[in-house]
Structure 1
């Protein structure tokens, strides 16, 4: 298996790991080391990959970075009641060009997903999400991306890719595989009104910071439907982070970002997860520990996954039908988990790739709204995209 572009975890981190309790997470991982090489991946379900690439950061001034502090923090945590085997495959170093790094990441993600292993990417700049997305070209026909971010990152797609414009490239570059793009925690004053309008006109979803902080559960359905989850650390409130990492006095707090991460883990569809825009500083303890805890909650979520979206067996769900403006809406509720879905009707005359999107995750509130003659927002947007 070709993982030539991965460099091992540093001896410094491994030496630190030896001093930890035998119960600590770091002592239970399969780790890519200089001494033993890449571990056997046969029973691995989650693999951590660092990507030391930040040259497409719009603020890049030549600085390099390492992920050692994050690893030390993560290794020192204790696992939950987990039954997944986790590997740390080390880092993808900068390529000769940024495109070389993209290629290495794309290949690594593709290999892992084919082996039914979830890659967890620890990155520099968030444009690496583009390479993560391209790994799906040969895997599935349509991709859903959730971006936890203060900004939409649509940018000017006619210009070279940067960490504030990679979504424009994802939307406009062939092959066109993007079905839904959703942003969680966006802050209006960081986004041009044209971008906000564009998100609406493309029927993409966006959840304002205030909405998310008011009720964190509203983001669970969109994460349940995601294939790729990408987190920009700039979405986190400055007071929760180390000096270099601070971006905005407003943002998600530590509990909220961990809850979002756990929802991503619980989702049966999420097959890759990335954390980006890490900027180390001398007082790095806060940022590295928060990232470690976000990773911990994602893995916790993966261990709590329940297969509840197979609606073949009639005893496993309840079905509810309601009328909204002469439109029949069909809801399903899982008896196992209590989670809800809504059916999107197929338009026979439309040639679409949507064979797997007949059921859309939703909330109990959407059903209650439909009973009160209000069309659920997620259903409306998915239906409109289906018509395009």
Structure 2
């Protein structure tokens, strides 16, 4: 039986041809010189791998949520920019495991395939960083984490979501990019949710009511002008209550001055500087078990600025992991 259990999904293994950059006679100057590639189906993890990249090439959830499709090309766009970034980290064995690719409208199978991949990476002490794709990536990533911890006594997961939206919509007919955290809170115990950057104009009153009912912690976009001591204290209190942290970044939480290439751009979002300071603080906890970056839509990107932002956020995660 195949690794993906005959799910209706395509898979493309990591390919070194996807990684290019400035030519140099010196070694280990850029990401493209440092990255390794592998096939998640065949990887036996005999060698120590610190971080595993996996693409989630899917925007079916965005389509179902009546958003702007195009995020399925996000992983390729991030690799294109990431390969050209100079490296400033040491002793990081990073492997690109390629892309899980949604076939037709089979979103749920694509999520199951990513979940299996996340589980395999964590089980082998690898930090996964998934690249989307729509924010339905969150349900898949979290499901993979919970699968690994199902027999552990330490299985309380805290979700930190950098986002303009709660993504707490109820599933009326089919799951989509706006339902992942409602699904998670409905299906799993021992989970806490903290949303950073919530915009009132991007969430209905019902979503605020759902957040209150489920004890969701959140700060508004107006509280994200700077990484304040008050926010540090709120996050510290949250971190103390959980065993692990799952970090997910929806690029539409950024101001459209920094991120035009997303499914739902907004001029009122936070800045890259704010998110980097918050990430640095969160990684200091040593509790992060998995990460992802969602909603990059190259079809609407301007001069690849949003792809460049996503790549540099990923690089920043690696620097702090």
Shorter-chain TM-score range: 0.7 to 0.9
Q: Which secondary structure state, in structure 2, belongs to the residue aligned with residue 93 of structure 1?
A: strand
What is aligned with 1:47?
52
Root-mean-square deviation over aligned CA pairs? 2.8
Q: Unaligned 5+ residue runs, structure 2? A: 5-9, 150-154
Structure 2 length-normalised TM: 0.82
Q: Does 1:164 align with 2:183?
A: no
Q: CA shift at 1:108, angstroms? A: 0.4
Deviation at 1:197, TM superposition (A): 3.1
Q: How many Å separate the matches in 1 of 2:13 and 2:116?
A: 17
Gaps of 5+ in 1: 303-388
Q: How far apart are residue 198 of structure 1 and its match?
A: 3.0
**Closer/same/farther in 2, CA of residues 178 and 151 from structure 1, 3 Å limit:** farther
1:122 maps to which of 124, 131, 148: 131
Inter-partner Cα distance in structure 2 for 1:60 and 1:11: 32
Larger-Rg structure: 1
- Which residue number in structure 1 is paired with residue 81 of structure 2? 73
- Contact 1:265/1:300 (8 A) holds in 2: no
1:172-191 pair list within 5 angstroms: 172-173=186-187, 176-191=188-203
Alignment of 1:97-112 (within 5 A): 97-112=106-121
Partner SS for 2:298: coil
Map 1:1-388 → 2, pairs under 5 A:
6-9=11-14, 12-14=17-19, 16-17=20-21, 19=23, 22=27, 23-32=29-38, 42-57=47-62, 58-59=65-66, 63=70, 64-65=72-73, 67-95=75-103, 97-140=106-149, 141-173=155-187, 176-217=188-229, 218-219=231-232, 220-221=235-236, 222=238, 225=242, 226-242=244-260, 247-281=265-299, 283-302=302-321
Change (3 A) 1:104 1:95: farther
8 A Cα contact 2:49 2:95, kept in partner: yes
Instruction: Give the Å deviation of 1:126.
Output: 0.4
CA distance in 2, matches of 1:252, 1:72: 25
Work out whether residues 74 and 133 of structure 2, in 8 Å CA contact, stay in contact via their aligned partners in 1: no
Q: CA deviation at 1:10?
A: 5.0
Q: Larger RCO: Structure 1 or Structure 2 (Cα < 8 Å, ≥ 6 residues apart)?
A: 2
